[in-house]
A and B are shown apart, each in its own frame.
Chain A
């Protein structure tokens, strides 16, 4: 596989604040690479450095094998950008907006017309081409924002939190669209603080906190980095301290918490954990209700590595 983006030892400071702290990343061709981290973790700063929208203090960024600079127009021409905030002009119609942004990359008018039509069809805005952005709903605006970023058929597309403040239906369409773009050959960088989205579409994920790379790998690799292999939740109306102690002593059980009639049992990656727990409760004549078993999430990965919830940071 070819490396599309290589970030080496990147440091970006804003006065005393270290926004990106010795970051190393490598993104391969054909990947959907997720940058996951809470708000303020440095994701957008990395993207800004990558696009040469801001200077950085140290390190090197290589895109398509060339050093990325503000005046490296050949590389910039192969990148598409979909920013978190909708970047369109209120005075231009849907068609004109897409044509304008496509025109920043494609000079040939006939080719551009073709690309614009394709982009409109891709995001499903055919009925709205003559609408001004103010007349569009939030979901349609996001689709327009995406169309403006992808119309020139870039090889590398950066999506910076494209689903913020989007309804679930539009969110699913956006995620499906991103996967389709990836199938068509584009390499994707997807930043988000929504771990479910990252988990759903990304082939590789980098978890970032306070400007530092916490972990990187596929979701399976990330989950295997932590001790927790399974979380079991059992409704137990009453639990004695002996039963609690007994549960903790079971093999593969890492920790047990009991709050408000719900026992949360974290287990390592052993097999038949649910069976062993229920067997124990049965043997100790402890009555129980519903049982839930969950595989570890990226939040568990983030929690175990950083000691805090990823969700806590979500605004």
Chain B
């Protein structure tokens, strides 16, 4: 316990780490908030989403779909403002940003969007739900179960789409703040890296001094990890509180799962530091630089500098979004707080857990390798 307590004290009193892991994310968030506030005020309103629907064929199904869209409400306000038009005009409206999306009805229904964002996601989700429901109805009609299915579906399709987005973030710049939380979480690596400086006797004189004491290695390492995670988690809470209470960032649904996820993000960040510290053990300076570079690159891919980077990667190299640490953190928050897709959230969490396991294995192997090397080649403590 004394080990853990003093480690916490030491990490808390480290001014350099305090700046990078607390002040920097808070400062950056404040800057983001001021920079984005005018954009948000000008461009964002969740009142009604303008969409264009192509109704060229004139069949009854198209009219039903338009009616369905026009019938959707949120707190008494229409969810969609529907413009029925032909495809050319619809595309023109889209290019002029008069509408958020164009729904091209037909055998293969398409949704065309100009840029990604919450509104576009809403449109796509509603259309997906509608199409799924339509398929069910068609199948029911063919099997003579139409009345039964109609009854059970009576109000569900409409409420499904609306319910799904209740409590969701209305801030179009939310992805930047998600990426910031990801960056702050990954900066926990700095604590991990600092801890690894005291694992082998060749690294620092205090490491040699500690190893001369009658302490088992595993409990001391676990105490170090726990201390780093504790501080990182407290920082996660502090940053989140600052975003929500001071900057009034609309994070969407903030529920218990976010706090569970925060603990995993903290562990993830700390373990990344252990990974770099154990693999690049000989040169702390190099480990520091390489780690910081990797984290910033990960954050770049996660959308910290370019808001729609995740969408770009999703179309060009989706595997990056599946494995990039910053993306996994940001997307898990997006899935949980904005979309409310627990399946997506769970997939992100599982990926992070797998990352953690991989980092532990590589760190342990690297640590063992370096210890054997010290034994062979030697380096005075």
Complex-state Cα separation, A14 to B202, whole angstroms: 14
A86 touches B378 (CB 8 A): no
Complex-state Cα separation, A77 to B215, whole angstroms: 9
A104 within 8 A of B: yes
Stretch at the interface among A87-95, A238-246, A282-290: A87-95
Decide if the interface of chain B is mainly helix, strand, loop or mixed.
helix
Q: How large is the interface on A (under 10, 10 to 19, 20 to 34, 35 or more residues)?
A: 35 or more
B353 within 8 A of A: no
B210 within 8 A of A: yes
B248 within 8 A of A: no
Per-position 1/0 for B365-381, Cβ under 8 A of A: 00000000011111011
Residues of A within 8 A of B36 (CB): none
A33 within 8 A of B: no
Residues of B within 8 A of A99 (CB): 2, 6
Residues of B within 8 A of A182 (CB): none
Residues of B within 8 A of A100 (CB): 2, 6
Total CB contacts across the A-B interface at under 8 A:
84
A77 touches B212 (CB 8 A): no
Complex-state Cα separation, A140 to B375, whole angstroms: 34
Complex-state Cα separation, A51 to B206, whole angstroms: 14
A131 within 8 A of B: no
Given A54-B375, A91-B14, check contact A76 B209 (CB 8 Å): no
Contact among B10, B205, B374, B378 with A87 in the assembled complex (CB-CB below 8 Å): B205
Chain B residues with a Cβ closer than 8 Å to the other chain, count: 27
Within 8 A of B (CB), among A43-79: 44-45, 48, 51, 53-55, 70-71, 73-74, 76-77, 79
Contact among A53, A79, A92 with B211 in the assembled complex (CB-CB below 8 Å): A53
A15 within 8 A of B: yes
B76 within 8 A of A: no
B209 nearest CB across to chain A (Å):
4
B214 touches A74 (CB 8 A): yes
* Residue of A76, A96, A104 with highest tally of chain B CB at under 10 A: A104
A91 touches B10 (CB 8 A): yes
Complex-state Cα separation, A88 to B212, whole angstroms: 14
Contact among B2, B212, B380 with A103 in the assembled complex (CB-CB below 8 Å): B2
B9 within 8 A of A: yes
Given A51-B212, A73-B214, check contact A85 B6 (CB 8 Å): no
B49 within 8 A of A: no
Could you list 19 examples of A-B contacts with CB < 8 Å?
A: A14-B378, A48-B381, A54-B374, A55-B375, A76-B212, A83-B205, A83-B209, A85-B381, A87-B205, A87-B209, A91-B11, A91-B13, A92-B9, A92-B13, A99-B2, A100-B2, A101-B209, A101-B213, A104-B3
Query: A residues within 8 Å of B by Cβ?
Result: 12, 14-15, 19, 44-45, 48, 51, 53-55, 70-71, 73-74, 76-77, 79, 81, 83, 85-89, 91-92, 96, 99-101, 103-105, 107, 148
